[in-house]
C-alpha cells in the first residue's frame, strides 16, 4: 500500500463569492475571492449592481438638477459632492460667491466629514466584532444630522448647495447647536480611542494588515485618508484650497505605515482637525447675502472645467465639457471610491478572509459612489 503519510497533500485553489449581500460590504458589492485554503490569492470586485447611469442623466438635465443627482452617489459626503458641481459651474460662469456662502459651505462640509467618519468608525468596529462602537458612533452622529435637518431640511441627502450660493440661509439655531455639538464631541472623541484604538484584539487585527505603499497608492489613484495613511500627501483642501479653506489653519494628517491601523488613525486624527476648522469659522460667519442671483436656465460657455474637492473618502472630481447649451455635453464624475476599490486586490493578496473585512472597512467604501 502507498504510504499516504509521507506524501504532501494535494491542494487546489477554489473561489467563493462574497456578496452582493454580505454585511461587511456595506452595500451591493460582490467580491469573487480566489482562495488557497484561507489565503486570498486574488480579489475580483464585481460592481454595478446599483449603476444608475448618472453621467448619462446629466447630459439631459440642467445644472441645477445635476446638483441633486450628486447626493445620490456618496451619500455620506453629499454636501461636498454638491459643492463640487456648484464650484465648477461658478468657475465656468466666473461667478464670485459671497464670503458668507464660502464659510457656511465649509462648516457644513466639515460637519459632514465628521458625521461620515463617525459612521465609518461605528461600522468598522462592528465589522471587527465590537457592536458597542456602532451605538457610540451613531449617538454622536445623530447630533449632526439634527443640525442638518434644522438648517437644510433633510438629514441625509441635503441639497443645500445651489449654483451661486445656498438654497436658503442658516437656521437661527445653527451656530448655537453647532457649538453645543463641538463641546460635546471634544469630550466624546477620546472615548473612541479608549473603546477601540487601544484594544489589543483590534490592534492585532489591523496592524500590519493590508499594506499599501506610497508608490502603489499613487499608481492606483488612491486618495483621501486611505492614501494619506501611506504617506501620499493628497489633501485637496491643502493643495488646491477652495471655499473658506485658504483662511483656516489645519494639519494634513499623514501616516507612513500604510496598513489598516494607519488608515484608522488617519481618520480619527482628521476628526480633530475638522473640529478645529469648524471652531475657527463658527463665530466668524460674515454677514451678507446667502446667494447671488443666477439665471433660471444656466448655460455654461463652451469649454471644459475640472473641479476637485476633498470628500470624506478622497478626491472627488467633476469634469464638465460644455458646448454652450443648458446641459453639459459630457460630464464625468471622478469618484474616490472607484479608484480606492481598484487597489483592494493588491492590498488583500496573501491575507486571510478575516483580514479582508478589516481592509474593506478601512478603505471606507460607499457603493453608490463607485457604481454611480
Partner 1 sequence: MDNEALRHFISERVPGAEIGQGPQFLTATVPAVNARALLHDLRHDPNTQFDFLFCLTGVDYPPDHMMVVYHLRSTVWGHHLVVKSRIPTRENPETDTVCDLWRTAEFHEREVYDLFGITFRNHPDLRRLLLTDDWVGHPLRKDYSDPVNLIEY
Distance separating alpha carbons of residues 218 and 76, to the nearest angstrom: 24
Q: Is 235 in the site for partner 1 (CB under 8 A)?
A: no
Q: Is 55 in the site for partner 1 (CB under 8 A)?
A: yes
Which residue in the set 334, 349, 352, 353 belongs to the binding site for partner 1 (CB under 8 A)?
Answer: 334
Q: Residue by residue, what is the 3-state secondary structure of the chain?
A: CCCCCCCCCCCCCEEEEECCCCHHHCCCCEEEEEEECCEEEEEEEECCCCCCCHHHHHCCCCHHHHHHHHHCCCHHHHHHHHHHHHHHHHHHHCCCCCHHHHHHHHHHHHHHHHHHHHHHHHHHHHHCCCHHHHHHHHHHHHHHHHHHHHHHCCCCCCCCEECCEECCCCCCCHHHHHHHHHHHHHHHHHHHHHHHHCCHHHHHHHCCCCCCCHHHHHHCCCCCHHHHCCCCCCCHHHHCCCCCHHHCCCCCCCCCCCCHHHHHHHHHHHHHHHHHHHHHHHCCCCCCCCECCCCCCCCCCCEEEEEEEECCCCEEEEEEEECCCCCCCEEEEECHHHHHHHCHHHHHCCCEHHHHHHHHHHHCCCHHHHHC
Rounded to a whole number of angstroms, the minimum distance from the CB of residue 320 to partner 1 is 11
- How many residues bind partner 1 (CB under 8 A)? The answer is 39
Which residue in the set 47, 80, 123, 229 belongs to the binding site for partner 1 (CB under 8 A)?
Answer: 47
Q: Is 303 in the site for partner 1 (CB under 8 A)?
A: yes
Rounded to a whole number of angstroms, the minimum distance from the CB of residue 3 to partner 1 is 43
Which residue in the set 122, 125, 258, 317 belongs to the binding site for partner 1 (CB under 8 A)?
Answer: 317
Q: Is 173 in the site for partner 1 (CB under 8 A)?
A: no
Q: Is 53 in the site for partner 1 (CB under 8 A)?
A: yes
**Contact region with partner 1 (CB under 8 A), list: 133-141, 152-160, 182-190, 332-340:** 332-340
Which residue in the set 36, 56, 191, 207 belongs to the binding site for partner 1 (CB under 8 A)?
Answer: 56
Q: Is 332 in the site for partner 1 (CB under 8 A)?
A: yes
Rounded to a whole number of angstroms, the minimum distance from the CB of residue 45 to partner 1 is 9
Residue 163 or 317: which CB sits closer to partner 1?
A: 317
Residue 260: name the closest of 323, 352, 168, 179 by CA.
Answer: 352
**Contact region with partner 1 (CB under 8 A), list: 5-13, 198-206, 214-222, 270-278:** 214-222
Q: Is 306 in the site for partner 1 (CB under 8 A)?
A: yes
**Contact region with partner 1 (CB under 8 A), list: 20-28, 168-176, 278-286, 324-332:** 324-332
Q: Which of residues 106-125 bind partner 1 (CB under 8 A)?
A: none
Which residue in the set 243, 275, 338, 351 belongs to the binding site for partner 1 (CB under 8 A)?
Answer: 338
Q: Is 17 in the site for partner 1 (CB under 8 A)?
A: no
Q: Is 219 in the site for partner 1 (CB under 8 A)?
A: yes
Distance separating alpha carbons of residues 68 and 62, to the nearest angstrom: 10
**Contact region with partner 1 (CB under 8 A), list: 44-52, 152-160, 167-175, 361-369:** 44-52
Question: Between the CA atoms of 208, 209, 212 and 214, what dihedral angle is there, to the nearest 10 degrees?
Answer: -20
Which residue in the set 161, 339, 361, 362 belongs to the binding site for partner 1 (CB under 8 A)?
Answer: 339
Residues that bind partner 1 (CB under 8 A): 47-48, 51, 53, 55-56, 60, 91-92, 216, 218-221, 223, 232-234, 303-306, 308, 315, 317, 319, 321, 329-330, 332, 334, 338-339, 341-343, 346, 371-372
Amino acid at each position: 500500500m502507498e504510504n499516504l503519510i509521507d506524501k504532501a497533500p494535494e491542494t487546489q485553489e477554489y473561489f467563493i463569492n462574497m456578496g452582493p449581500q454580505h454585511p461587511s460590504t456595506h452595500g451591493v458589492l460582490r467580491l469573487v475571492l480566489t482562495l488557497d485554503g484561507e489565503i486570498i490569492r486574488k480579489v475580483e470586485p464585481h460592481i454595478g449592481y446599483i449603476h444608475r447611469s448618472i453621467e448619462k442623466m446629466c447630459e439631459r438635465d440642467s445644472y441645477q438638477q445635476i446638483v441633486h443627482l450628486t447626493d445620490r452617489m456618496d451619500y455620506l459626503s453629499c454636501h461636498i459632492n454638491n459643492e463640487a458641481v456648484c464650484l465648477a459651474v461658478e468657475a465656468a460662469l466666473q461667478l464670485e460667491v459671497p464670503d458668507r456662502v464660502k464659510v457656511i459651505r465649509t462648516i457644513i462640509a466639515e460637519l459632514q466629514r465628521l458625521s461620515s467618519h463617525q459612521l465609518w468608525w461605528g461600522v468598522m468596529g462592528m465589522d471587527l466584532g465590537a457592536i458597542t462602537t456602532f451605538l457610540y458612533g451613531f449617538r454622536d452622529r445623530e447630533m449632526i444630522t439634527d443640525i442638518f435637518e434644522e438648517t437644510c431640511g433633510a438629514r441625509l441627502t441635503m441639497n443645500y448647495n445651489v449654483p451661486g450660493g445656498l438654497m436658503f440661509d442658516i437656521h437661527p439655531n445653527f451656530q448655537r447647536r453647532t457649538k453645543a455639538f463641538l463641546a460635546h464631541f471634544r469630550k466624546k472623541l477620546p472615548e473612541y480611542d479608549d473603546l477601540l484604538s487601544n484594544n489589543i484584539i483590534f490592534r492585532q487585527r489591523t496592524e500590519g494588515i493590508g499594506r499599501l505603499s506610497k508608490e502603489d497608492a499613487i499608481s492606483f489613484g488612491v486618495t483621501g485618508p486611505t492614501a494619506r495613511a501611506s504617506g501620499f500627501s493628497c489633501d485637496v483642501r491643502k493643495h488646491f484650497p477652495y471655499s473658506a479653506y485658504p483662511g483656516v489653519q489645519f494639519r494634513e494628517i499623514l501616516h507612513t505605515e500604510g496598513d489598516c491601523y494607519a488608515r484608522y488613525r488617519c481618520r480619527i486624527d482628521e476628526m480633530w482637525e475638522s473640529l478645529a476648522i469648524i471652531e475657527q469659522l463658527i463665530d466668524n460667519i460674515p454677514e451678507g447675502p446667502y446667494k447671488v442671483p443666477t439665471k433660471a436656465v444656466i448655460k455654461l460657455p463652451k469649454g471644459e472645467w475640472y473641479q476637485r474637492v476633498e470628500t470624506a473618502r478622497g478626491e472627488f472630481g467633476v469634469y464638465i465639457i460644455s458646448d454652450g447649451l443648458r446641459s453639459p455635453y459630457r460630464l464625468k464624475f471622478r469618484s474616490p471610491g472607484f479608484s480606492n476599490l481598484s487597489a483592494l486586490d493588491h492590498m488583500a493578496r496573501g491575507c486571510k478572509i478575516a483580514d479582508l473585512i478589516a481592509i474593506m472597512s478601512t478603505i471606507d467604501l460607499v457603493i453608490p459612489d463607485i457604481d454611480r
